[in-house]
Amino acid sequence: MKLNLLDLDADGLAAWFAELGEKPFRARQVLRWVHQFGEDDFGRMSDVAKSLQARLADLAEVRLPQVLRDATAADGTRKWLLDVGNGNAVECVFIPEENRGTLCISTQAGCALDCAFCSTGKQGFNRNLSAGEIVGQLWWAKKMLGDFRAPGGAQGRRAAETDFSLERIISNVVLMGMGEPLANYENVLSALRLMLDDNAYGLSRRRVTVSTSGIVPAMDRLRDECPVALAVSLHTPNDALRDRLVPINRKYPLDELMAACRRYLEKSPRDFITFEYVMLDGVNDSDAHARELLRLVRDVPCKFNLIPFNPFPASGFKRSPALRVRRFAEILMQAHIVTTTRKTRGEDIDAACGQLAGQVRDRTQRRAKRIITLAETAS
Ligand code: SAH
Ligand code: SF4
């Protein structure tokens, strides 16, 4: 199979061009064509010499996942279902808001970590997405939303303090779709580097957020190798409950997780960690839980994002009532912790947190059944 250029970050592309005996600025040109102008055809990269265009087409391609479905919800949330081969599909969701546009990206087909309240976890682990499949979601979303630049437009050198993100439709990227980003570290790292590169997507570190259920050694690596904004899926104030709801806690318990958060903050582009907390009726949402949380996070500068649980079939959990969520938030806010409650978006297209790809799984199961039936017929 041909090399997929989407899998290479700027250094990777420069190294490959060097192997071909091509100059580094040629690699930068191609990088810009692909990731700034959204061009996947070498023949249309007009300032690349014809001979190099032909050579590239011979050896490589810009291989994008196929878009299986494109749905827009009543509130403007838009969801794409992307085929990643072998009956696996992943989802990518664009959430427009007044002052920003956020793209939520998947990093794995399925997830091995099996959090009790998550539909992706219930699906089990299929495989890691390649860097190209991760960044390919951003590429497609920009293509579909008309968010790529026109070639030949002012390039402009970015002053260190300038944040151009708000000039674009997609101003923020969150790795909060299907999968655990830090369990697919290398590929996520290449994808992040492309998102941040000024010759590619040029997003500011503060506007790219990795969400993790708490894989401590990988949090340390991210801090050292590519610090971006960090969200940690906390969900409970003590180990006993977290061991049950977020099983990775048995390996990296809360005291280690809190220590890793403090270390992360030494290099983070933001001076706080965002703690995500899914509100499960009667499970983790009492006043006592909120007060216990305050003790847990007292040494970690943080904000809280409460996520009302999004139900899916046979989850066994219920969403906390709105009043309970409000009361819980009040206790945190009285302790001067900035607390937001996530609005549920895109419910009519199953695009809310933790609901992604429920239908994909059904489809996969149907396909599996069909294959079994066919096998039985054949034998
Ligand atoms: N694996 C990473 C990122 C993907 S999940 C993580 O766990 O952080 C993104 C967020 O959605 C996490 O905070 C996750 O706990 C939350 N989530 C999962 N299932 C949910 C559900 N059914 N309702 C609400 N939030 C959910
Ligand atoms: Fe995986 Fe995150 Fe779902 Fe847990 S919540 S199963 S880590 S995707």
pLDDT tens column, 291-350: 999 999 999 999 999 999 999 888 999 999 999 999 999 999 999 999 999 987 777 777
Work out which ligand 2 atom sits closest to the CA atom of 121.
6
Residue with tokens 């690349």: 48
Determine the distance from the C-alpha atom of residue 90 to the mean position of all C-alpha atoms in its chain, rounded to a whole number.
Answer: 11
Q: Tell me the ligand closest to 310's alpha carbon.
A: 1
| Residue 199 per-residue DSSP state | T
- The whole-angstrom separation of Cα 5 and Cα 16 is 10
- The whole-angstrom separation of Cα 49 and Cα 28 is 14
pLDDT-derived band at 356 (thresholds 50, 70, 90) equals low
pTM: 0.91
Residue whose Cα lies nearest atom 8 of ligand 2: it is 179
Determine the distance from the C-alpha atom of residue 91 to the mean position of all C-alpha atoms in its chain, rounded to a whole number.
Answer: 10
Length of the chain: 379
For the sheet containing 302-308, what is the strand order? Answer: 66-72, 78-83, 89-96, 101-104, 172-175, 208-212, 229-233, 273-279, 302-308, 339-341
pLDDT-derived band at 101 (thresholds 50, 70, 90) equals very high
pLDDT of residue 57: 97
> Which protein residues touch ligand 1 with a CB less than 6 Å away?
115, 117-119, 176, 180, 211-213, 233, 276, 278, 307, 309-310, 353-354
The CATH superfamily of 66-378 is Aldolase class I (3.20.20.70)
Phi-psi group of 164: left, alpha or beta (phi > 0 → left; psi -120 to 50 → alpha; rest → beta):
alpha
- CA 303 to ligand 2 center in whole angstroms: 20
Q: Which residues contact 220 (CB under 8 A, 6 or more apart)?
A: 260, 263, 264
pLDDT in tens, 196-213: 999 999 999 999 999 999
- The whole-angstrom separation of Cα 126 and Cα 113 is 12
Q: Which residues pair with 91 in a beta bridge?
A: 81
Residue with tokens 């899916």: 312
Q: Which fold has domain 3-61?
A: DNA polymerase; domain 1 (1.10.150)
Do β-strands 89-96 and 101-104 pair in parallel, antiparallel, or remain unpaired? antiparallel
pLDDT in tens, 15-68: 999 999 999 999 999 999 999 999 999 999 999 999 999 999 999 999 999 999
Q: How many angstroms separate the first and last alpha carbons of the chain?
A: 33
Confirm whether 3-61 and 66-378 share one CATH topology: no
* Domain edges within the chain: 3-61, 66-378
- The whole-angstrom separation of Cα 218 and Cα 182 is 6
Which of 116, 125, 117, 113 is CA-nearest to residue 252?
113
> Which protein residues touch ligand 2 with a CB less than 6 Å away?
111, 113-115, 118, 120-121, 179-180, 213, 233
Phi, psi of 139 (to 5 degrees): -55, -50
| b/e code 81-118 from CB counts within 10 Å (16+ = b) | bbbbeeebbbbbbbbeeeeebbbbbbbbbbbebebbbb
Q: Does residue 109 surpass a pLDDT of 70?
A: yes
Work out which ligand 1 atom sits closest to the CA atom of 317.
22
Two tokens at 199? 């010759």
Residue with tokens 């509130």: 75
